[in-house]
Structure 1
Amino acid sequence: MRIGLDATPLLGQRSGVGRYVAGLVAGLQQLPEAPEVLLTLFSIRGSVPVASSATVRPAPRRAPARLLRRTWAHTRFPPAELLTGRVAVFHGTNFVAPPTARAGRLVTVHDLAYLRYPQTVTGDAEHYARLVPRALDGGAHVLAVTHAMAEEIRDEYGLPADRVHVAAHGVDPEWSAATPATPGQLAALGLPPEYHLFTGNLEPRKNLGMLVAAHRAARRSDPGVPPLVLVGPAGWGDRWQGAEPDPADVVLAGYLPDEDLRSVVAGATSVCMPSHYEGFGLPVLEALAAGRPVLASDIPAHREVAGGQAQLLDPADPDCWASALGNPASAPGDTGSRRAHAAGFTWSISASAHLRAYEDAAQDR
Structure 2
Amino acid sequence: MPGTLRVALDATPLLGARTGIGTYVRELVGALGALPDVALTATAFSGRAHRPDDLPASVAFRAARVPARLLRVAWLRTDLPPVEALAGRHDVFHATNFVLPPGRGAGVLTVHDLTYVRYPELVAPASRAYATLVPRGLRRARLVLTPSQAVAAEVVEEYRLDPERVRATPLGVASAWFDAAPLMPVRRRELGVGERYVVFVGTREPRKDLGTLLAAHAAHRAAGGDLQLVLVGAAGWGEELAGRHGVRVLGHLPGADVRALVAGARALAMPSRYEGFGLPVLEAQAAGTAVLCSDLPVLREVGGSTATYLPVGDVEAWSAALDGCGATAPDLDAARTARTRAATFTWAACARLTLAAYRDATAA
**Deviation of the 1:308 alpha carbon:** 1.2
Letter of the 2:266 partner, please give it: T
Distance 1:34 1:15 in 2: 29
Q: Deviations over 1:226-276 (max 9, x none)?
A: 11111112121247xxxx676322111122111111111110011000000
**Match among 88, 113, 127 for residue 91 of structure 2:** 88
Relative distance call for 1:68 and 1:245 in structure 2 (3 A) is closer
2:32 and 2:169 map into 1 onto residues whose CA distance is: 13
Contact 2:109 2:141 in 1 (8 A): no
Q: Which residue of 2 aligns with 1:14?
A: 18
Please state how far the C-alpha of 1:34 moved relative to its aligned partner. 4.3
Residues 319 and 34 of structure 1, relative CA distance in 2, 3 Å threshold: farther
Separation in 2, partners of 1:57, 1:95: 22
Residue of structure 2 in register with 1:58 after alignment: 61
Measure the CA separation in 2 of the matches of 1:14 and 1:278. 17
Q: d(CA) in 2 for partners of 1:330 and 1:118?
A: 40
What are the Cα deviations for residues 286-306 of structure 1, in whole angstroms up to 9, with x where unaligned? 101101000000001100000
Other-structure match for 2:126: 124
Corresponding residue for residue 303 of structure 1: 300
Question: Partner residue of 1:163?
Answer: 165
Q: TM-score, normalised by structure 2?
A: 0.93
Q: Structure 1 271/52 Cα, relative in aligned 2: closer, same or farther at 3 Å?
A: closer
* Residue identity in the other structure for 1:80: V
The number of residues matched between the two structures is: 356
Q: What pairs up with 1:95-114 in 2 under 5 angstroms?
A: 95-101=98-104, 103-114=105-116
Deviation of 1:204 after TM superposition, in Å, equals 0.7
Provide closer, same or farther for how the CA distance between residues 336 and 66 of structure 1 changes in structure 2, counting only shifts above 3 A. Answer: same
Matched, 1:251 2:248: yes
Gaps in structure 2 of 5+ consecutive residues: none
Change (3 A) 1:52 1:288: closer
Deviations 1:53-92 (A, max 9, x none): 34x1013644221221122112212111112222111011
Closer, same or farther in 2 for the Cα pair 1:256/1:293, shift >3 Å?
same
Partner of 1:344: 344
* Percent of aligned positions that are identical: 45
Distance 1:52 1:217, change over 3 A: closer
Distance 1:209 1:276, change over 3 A: same
| Matching of residue 73 in structure 1 with residue 73 in structure 2 | no
SS at match of 2:45: coil
Residue 316 of structure 2 corresponds to 319
Shift of residue 104 of structure 1? Answer: 0.7
Q: Secondary structure at the match of 1:149?
A: helix
Rounded Cα–Cα distance in structure 2 between residues aligned with 1:51 and 1:145: 22
Q: 1:27 aligns with which of 24, 31, 36?
A: 31
> Do 1:41 and 1:63's aligned partners in 2 also have CA atoms closer than 8 Å?
no
Task: Supply the distance in 2 between the matched residues of 1:257 and 1:288 (Cα, whole angstroms).
Answer: 19
Q: TM-score, normalised by structure 1?
A: 0.93
Find the counterpart in structure 2 of residue 39 from structure 1: 42
1:43 is matched by which residue type in structure 2?
S
Deviates more, 1:126-135 or 1:41-50: 41-50
RMSD across aligned positions (CA): 1.7
Q: Alpha-carbon deviation of 1:123?
A: 4.3
Amino acid paired to 2:233: G
Task: Give me the whole-angstrom Cα distance separating, in 2, the residues matched to 1:183 and 1:211.
Answer: 26
For 2:154 and 2:217, how far apart are their aligned partners in 1? 32
